[in-house]
């Protein structure tokens, strides 16, 4: 369990969501998700750490069957107000999801791992409830903006002071620990510091798949099943054996005449 947003931290979260960098990520994340997840209409997707529902709205517009889980009742209250019956919501921890095995096709964790104490447990739980792919979206510790956010955290920023940022290689290691040697794809969203944007032309695509230094990292892991089982309910009760096999005496062949062919 990591940071659970309450009424106080929710205000700082809303401020961050209104920032230029966050809005740039939101504009670019849909093509990033489509490229890495390849969702199909009707796919069941679980947003782990869904917050106030921004990404659930995006997935719903794609024609997906959406569900969200979050540990913060305040967050879920806002998400329900925005989506209503369009999404199924449950309160719960990412490390112990209140869902059945393989209940979803896809699971996503967007700006969730940064605020968790045990990200590996959360990834394993995501792999338990999803059967196709897992998507992770995080702020990149190797980017200029990520460095600034880390510095802000050191100086007492109430939001990023409790966040742990990751780089590409750390996330790949976590995915391999969680799922083994599965196929992994990744891309980056480039977001420049606000002070530089007046001097740069930013009309081009903000997604740079070959640069591991973009502000926002997106990774997808394709789940590979080495053994696939069907869980069948046992409908017949086993009866207690009447006699132990250890109690059966072995018949010794002492006289050939005792053994007659029928």
Q: Which domains does the chain have, with CATH numbers?
A: 7-224 (3.40.50.150)
- For residue 119, give the nearest of 76, 164, 89 by alpha carbon: 164
Report the distance separating Cα 112 and Cα 104, nearest Å: 18
**Contact 198/49 with Cβ under 8 angstroms?**
no
Whether the per-residue pLDDT at 241 is higher than 90: the answer is: no
Phi, psi of 165 (to 5 degrees): -90, 150
State pTM to two decimals.
0.75
**Contact 81/53 with Cβ under 8 angstroms?**
no
Whether the per-residue pLDDT at 215 is higher than 70: the answer is: yes
Strand 130-139 with 44-48, pairing: unpaired
Which DSSP string do the residues of 173-207 spell out, in sequence order?
HHHHHHHSS--EEEEEE----GGGGGGS---S--B
> Of 184 and 240, which is predicted with more confidence?
184
Q: Could you tell me what percent of the chain has a pLDDT over 70?
A: 63
> Of 11 and 136, which is predicted with more confidence?
136
Phi-psi category of residue 185: left, alpha or beta, with phi > 0 → left and psi -120 to 50 → alpha: beta
Report the distance separating Cα 38 and Cα 139, nearest Å: 22
Q: What is the pLDDT of residue 189?
A: 84
Tens-digit pLDDT profile for residues 163-186: 789 999 999 999 999 999 999 999
Cβ-based neighbour number of residue 7 at 10 Å: 8
SS (H, E, C) 83-115: HHHHEEEEECECCECCCCCCCEEEEEEECCHHH
């Amino acid at each position: 369990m990591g940071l659970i947003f309450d009424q106080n931290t929710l205000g700082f979260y809303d401020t961050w969501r209104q920032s230029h960098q966050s809005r740039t990520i939101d504009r670019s994340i849909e093509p990033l998700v489509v490229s890495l997840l390849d969702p199909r209409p009707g796919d069941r997707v679980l947003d782990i750490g869904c917050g106030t529902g921004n990404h659930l709205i995006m997935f719903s517009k794609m024609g997906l069957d959406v569900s969200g889980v979050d540990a913060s009742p305040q967050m879920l209250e806002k998400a329900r107000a925005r989506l209503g019956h369009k999404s199924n919501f449950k309160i719960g921890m990412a490390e112990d999801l209140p869902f059945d095995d393989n209940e979803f096709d896809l699971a996503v964790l967007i700006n969730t791992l940064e605020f968790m104490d045990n990200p590996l447990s959360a990834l394993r739980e995501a792999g338990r409830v999803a059967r196709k792919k897992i998507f992770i979206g995080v702020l990149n510790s190797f980017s200029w903006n990520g460095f600034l956010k880390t510095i802000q955290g050191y100086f007492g920023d109430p939001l990023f002071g409790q966040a742990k940022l990751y780089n590409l290689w750390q996330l790949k290691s976590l995915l391999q620990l969680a799922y083994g040697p599965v196929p992994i794809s990744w891309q980056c969203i480039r977001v420049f510091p606000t002070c530089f944007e007046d001097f740069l032309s930013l009309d081009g695509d903000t997604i740079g798949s070959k640069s591991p230094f973009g502000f926002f990292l997106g990774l997808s892991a394709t789940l590979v099943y080495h053994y696939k089982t069907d869980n069948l309910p046992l409908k017949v009760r086993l009866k207690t054996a009447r006699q132990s096999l250890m109690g059966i005496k072995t018949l010794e062949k002492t006289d050939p005449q005792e053994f007659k062919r029928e």
